[in-house]
Amino acid sequence: GAVVSQHPSWVICKSGTSVKIECRSLDFQATTMFWYRQFPKQSLMLMATSNEGSKATYEQGVEKDKFLINHASLTLSTLTVTSAHPEDSSFYICSTDLSNYGYTFGSGTRLTVV
């Protein structure tokens, strides 16, 4: 089945630094990738939708300059958390929509900003 590989699984960074999270689609092409922020025992918050070759669409309240999304190829989408702060600590997860074949989620990235 379709697999989305997400890296890193966890990362600890210092406040003020930037962190890049990658999601790669293995054995299929993903024209669209969804990026979510995940809180314990709560809903996923859709942050943005990335489309290959065009600008990402951000949800209301999500800072575009802070959460940079790049979808330069059909197999790779990246989320960069710039100037990270402790309040950015969370799980981040990507997902793609394979229409009739369902959604495939990445394994998630736990970001801890110290």
Partner 1 sequence: DQQVKQNSPSLSVQEGRISILNCDYTNSMFDYFLWYKKYPAEGPTFLISISSIKDKNEDGRFTVFLNKSAKHLSLHIVPSQPGDSAVYFCAASALGGYQKVTFGTGTKLQVIP
Cβ-based nearer residue to partner 1, 16 or 102: 102
Which one, 44 or 68, has the nearer CB to partner 1?
Answer: 44
Longest C-alpha distance within the chain, in Å?
Answer: 41
CA-to-CA dists, residue 112 to 22, 89, 109, angstroms: 16, 5, 10
Ramachandran assignment for 99, one of left (phi > 0), alpha (psi -120 to 50 degrees), beta (any other): left
Q: Is 1 in the site for partner 1 (CB under 8 A)?
A: yes
- Between residue 79 and residue 98, which ones bind partner 1 under the rule CB under 8 A? 91, 93, 95
Cβ-contact 96, 1 below 8 angstroms: no
Report, in Å, the least distance between residue 16 CB and partner 1. 25
* Region near partner 1 per CB under 8 A, out of 22-30, 44-52, 71-79, 80-88: 44-52
- Is residue 71 within 8 A of residue 50, CB to CB? The reply is yes
Q: Interface with partner 1 includes 36 (CB under 8 A)? A: yes
CB of 4 to partner 1, least distance (A): 11
